[in-house]
């Protein structure tokens, strides 16, 4: 499972790979050129599809043609941006430290603090998100998508899944039987263009590797 390359955090349209995100994707593609990939699946967002496209181009330049990606809505990220837009003014009114970070223009630290508060409440089911997807629905959606992939591919296949941190954390949850809040904390640890390796037998999934970034030079290592 691959987290997408760095997107455009803090811009009007997050769902666009940065120049660094493109380079991360290409570095990953060169790493995967000799991996013998049998199938590629992608989430529906532009950052997912572009990550898959750039890594495939780099792999082909290195002599390996990857299969065309299959796009799956089940691999989409949870509605984080929508939740922040809904809840950030309310959080800032109740959290003096968050309000001070926003007033000082420290959007990075403010976003991390808001992300932690919003996602914890969302996972607990105590956040009123209206018509937006609940955590339980999100986890069930992703788990259903992963089950469809493993059922379609069967045993002995090497599959790439290009998505976001949230779906990867749900996959890790399925391997380690994590609680709801710890599941979302996994997403915070995932680097851009990182790989997490999962092996499956039927519906049983086992975590074999987490958050690998050894193919990225230090200047390309990012988490946001």
Q: What CATH number does domain 2-78+133-220 carry, 3.40.1350.10, 3.20.20.80, 3.40.50.1240, 3.40.50.2300? A: 3.40.50.1240
**In the prediction, which pLDDT does 212 show?**
97
- Evaluate if pTM is beyond 0.95: no
Strand pairing class (204-212; 195-201): antiparallel
Q: Quick check: 197 and 209 in contact, CB under 8 A?
A: yes
Q: Which two tokens stand for residue 210?
A: 């987490």
Percent pLDDT > 70 in the chain is 93
Please indicate whether residue 18 or residue 94 has the higher confidence score (pLDDT): 18
Q: Helices 180-189 and 107-124: crossing angle, nearest 10°?
A: 150
CA distance 97 to 105: 13
Angle at Cα 193 formed by Cα 189 and Cα 195, nearest 5°?
A: 70
**In the prediction, which pLDDT does 102 show?**
66
Dihedral of CA atoms 116, 121, 124, 129 in degrees, nearest 10, equals -130
pLDDT in tens, 166-215: 999 999 999 999 998 899 889 989 999 999 999 999 889 999 999 999 99
Give the start-to-end residue ranges of the domains of the chain: 2-78+133-220, 80-124
With a cut of 90, say whether residue 81 has pLDDT above it: no
Q: Quick check: 54 and 5 in contact, CB under 8 A?
A: yes
**In the prediction, which pLDDT does 4 show?**
98
Instruction: Give the pLDDT mean for 65-85.
Output: 91
CA distance 12 to 6: 15
Q: pLDDT band for 87, please (50, 70, 90 cuts).
A: confident
With a cut of 80, say whether residue 116 has pLDDT above it: no
């Amino acid at each position: 499972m691959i987290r997408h390359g760095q997107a455009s955090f803090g811009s009007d349209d997050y769902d666009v790979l940065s120049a660094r995100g493109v380079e991360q994707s290409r570095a990953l593609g060169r790493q995967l050129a000799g991996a013998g990939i049998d199938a590629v699946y992608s989430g529906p967002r532009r950052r997912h599809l572009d990550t898959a496209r750039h890594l495939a181009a780099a792999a082909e330049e290195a002599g390996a043609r990857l299969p065309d990606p299959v796009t799956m809505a089940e691999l989409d990220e949870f509605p984080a941006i929508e939740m922040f837009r809904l809840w950030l003014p309310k959080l800032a009114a109740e959290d003096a430290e968050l309000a001070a970070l926003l007033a000082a223009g420290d959007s990075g630290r403010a976003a991390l603090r808001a992300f932690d508060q919003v996602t914890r409440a969302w996972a607990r089911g105590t956040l009123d998100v209206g018509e937006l997807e609940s955590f339980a629905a999100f986890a069930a959606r992703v788990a259903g998508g992963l089950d469809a992939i493993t059922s379609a591919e069967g045993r002995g296949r090497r599959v790439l899944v290009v998505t976001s941190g949230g779906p990867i954390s749900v996959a890790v949850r399925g391997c380690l039987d994590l609680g709801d809040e710890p599941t979302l904390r996994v997403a915070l640890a995932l680097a851009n263009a990182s790989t997490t390796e999962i092996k499956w037998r039927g519906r049983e999934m086992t975590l074999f590797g987490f958050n690998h970034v050894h193919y990225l030079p230090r200047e390309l290592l990012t988490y946001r």
